[in-house]
Amino acid sequence: MEGLDVHDILEEAVDKIKKEAADADSARIVWKYVPERIEHDHFMNLPEGWTRITHNSGMPHRKSRVVSLSKPYFIGTQGVRDHPIPVTGIPCLHQKRIMERDAALAAEAESQKKNEGDTSETTLESEIKQKLIAPAVKIERQEDYLLSGEEYRKYAEKLFKFKLIQVKKFTTFKDKKADYREKQLDQALKDSGVPLKMKEVLGKNEKTPAGLALIHIESADPRFHKRSFVMNPQGKSSITVLHEYSQRALKGRTIYHIEETRNATKPFHATGIVIVKKSVRVQIAGTVKDKLALLGASNGENGDNVDEDSIIVGRGEGPSKRVAKMVAAKQALAVLIPEIRFNDDYMATIQPPNATEKNYDDQAIALFDELPIEDPRISDLAVRTCLPKPMILLKVGPQV
């Protein structure tokens, strides 16, 4: 081992470690895009937990790790819908205003230089500025950094399309809830073919068309208040009215059992049965259940072996199966909805209790003041407007 120094051997490992440490400390050089100029809004600081960093994505939130590309802001006790929007929350508009302001300042400085070169006289103000070389001073106001809802909409209209709609504003939640419920009832009236608003119906207006029946039913869910639906029986048969009532009020369906009898004039016997689920019968316990119990007692069905979910609501006889069904449905509705009356054809002809006889007759013949009797639309319009058909008026006329 000639030619080797002991000290060189000992220092060899140390030099190697120092070289590796120096290589590790040397940083990797990369290229990164950063904005040339970012102005900070001194009137609107970032909310708690948010931080501004030079990152490719934006502003991260430490706690929730949510990133926003625009500057979030804290509104405090201001309204969420009508608070002023800070310009710094809209990066594109903020940068546009900065560039416009810089261009205006540059143009103003250029014009001042021209004016100073043209004038030979030196004022005290310009002399002081030249000596101090003081920068331009600009007073910033908070209003300059805020946008109203209309200003923001005008800016967004360059890319987005808006439409003007009419809405209602309420001072209390109670008024808002009442208006929502009124809309639901108006929609129920419209779905039932009634051209009226709920206020007109509840206001007991004498001009209200005949043939309107309101049935208030307790909600099956005890957490909610009473709900109501509107049924327009005018122009409907007893079978249709009972079917609609069974579906909407009892949440069930109606079936009929037909039997033949030995009666020559009325050879068919119909039994109307309402099928209701047990759970629904328990939930709607009250006035409806009492009426059903009354029907069962009047028909003597307490001892019959019938299904627990089936309730016999009416019986009827007639020369045909359809007539027998109508008679059975009419008998059931006489207890369920006593206000409804049926004519000889088993069609509903209800008269509201608040309307006088004269008012009812005037409404019945008012349709013929606008249309001739030969008009083919009269029959359909009479049903839609809840007025008697011409044939019914012709039958009732000689009796008056």
Distance in angstroms (rounded) separating the CA atoms of residues 181 and 266: 48
Write the CA distances from 338 to 162, 288, 298, 329, integer angstroms: 53, 13, 15, 13
Of the ranges 92-101, 108-117, 369-378, which is most confident? 92-101
Which comes out higher in pLDDT, residue 59 or 120? 59
Please report the DSSP string for 165-233 in residue order. ------SSHHHHHHHHHHHHHHHHHHHTT----HHHHHTT-TTSPS--EEEEE--SSTTS--EEEEE--
Residue 238 pLDDT > 80: yes
Beta carbons within 10 angstroms of residue 338's beta carbon:
9
Query: C-alpha dihedral over 104, 110, 111, 116, to 10 degrees?
Result: 150
Residue ranges of alpha helices (H) inside the chain are 6-25, 91-118, 124-132, 149-156, 173-191, 198-202, 238-248, 278-283, 287-298, 321-336, 357-370, 378-384, 390-396
User: What pTM does this model have?
Assistant: 0.39
pLDDT band at 270 (very low <50, low <70, confident <90, very high): very high
Question: Is the separation of the CB atoms in 180 and 167 below 8 Å?
Answer: no
Domain ranges of the chain: 30-165, 174-336, 357-399
**CATH number at 174-336:** 3.30.160.20
**305 pLDDT tier (thresholds 50, 70, 90):** very low
> What is the pLDDT at residue 150?
83
Task: Please state, in angstroms and as integers, the Cα–Cα distance from residue 136 to each residue in 111, 126, 276, 341, following that order.
Answer: 14, 12, 85, 90
pLDDT per position as a tens digit, 140-198: 676 777 888 788 888 888 888 888 888 888 888 888 888 888 887 777 767 766 676 76
Q: What is the pLDDT, as a whole number, of residue 303?
A: 46
- Per-residue pLDDT of 309-336, as tens digits, reads 678 888 999 999 999 999 999 888 888 8
**Mean pLDDT of the chain, nearest integer:** 70
Tell me the mean pLDDT in the region 245-269. 87
Mean pLDDT of 358-382: 61
Mean pLDDT confidence for 90-96: 83
Domain 30-165 has CATH 3.30.470.30: no
